[in-house]
Amino acid sequence: MKIDAVSIFPDYFAPLQLSLLGKASDAGIVDFHIHDLRAFASDNHHAVDDTPYGGGAGMVMLPEIWGLALDRLMVDETDLIILTPAGKRFDQLMAARLSSASHLVFACGRYEGIDDRVRQHYSSDQYSKRNIRVHEVSIGDYVLGGGEVASLVMIEAITRLLPGVLGNPESLSEESHNEDGYLEYPNFTKPSTWRDISVPEILLSGNHGEIAKWRAEAAKQRAADNL
């Protein structure tokens, strides 16, 4: 999978070299390219934004500069992801769907976002004919300073689903078995008693059927407690 990200703060993407993502990249499973949006700004000040038509607070990112940056990245079969708190909520299902894409482009807006004509332009027929799809995505109902951290969240969730990325692919099948909403039961490791708290007896029993039942129930309880 090829992943491009466009941002005025390319340094935000340094964590892509660490841990799981770093290894996936070293192994050639995913190919990251980070682009500095400002490189496409031609005026002396390298401005990337201007005041909004219609008035109001904040600044809006210029369509011309985004167009120059994105035109170079829009090959056939591309999913363009525009990060915005107004987008569709990111979840595990969206991560799973995007993990079968061949090319993802993350457009990281700052300020009050990117001029909406950028979304409109790349959503038009000339692009959909080439299997270029545009998604406006939010990672949650809160406002970040920009789309960089949101992109990292999405990239990590998507990349770990690619074949060969996780050391133990069984972790993925356990997760998918639990997509009924009760994702995680509580986990325990050694010692069996810590600060007077003992691990539930059943987990030490070796009875896999009973352990599975206990875990399903505990996951359900946890989900209910966290509502």
Binding site for ligand ADE (CB under 6 A): 83-85, 138-140, 142-144, 146-147, 150
Which CB sits closer to ligand ADE, 48 or 218? 48
- Tokens standing for residue 199: 């691990």
CB of 140 to ligand ADE, least distance (A): 5
CB of 144 to ligand ADE, least distance (A): 4
Which CB sits closer to ligand ADE, 119 or 215? 119
CB of 106 to ligand ADE, least distance (A): 10
Q: Facing residues of 138 across strands?
A: 89
Peptide bond just before 191 cis, omega within 30 deg: yes
Count of positions (residues) in the chain: 227
CB of 197 to ligand ADE, least distance (A): 36
Which CB sits closer to ligand ADE, 112 or 174? 112
Burial of 224 (0-12, 13-18, 19+ CB in 10 A): exposed
The bridge status of strand 60-61 relative to strand 49-50 is antiparallel
* Whole-angstrom distance, CA of residue 30 vs CA of residue 89: 24
Which CB sits closer to ligand ADE, 41 or 107? 107
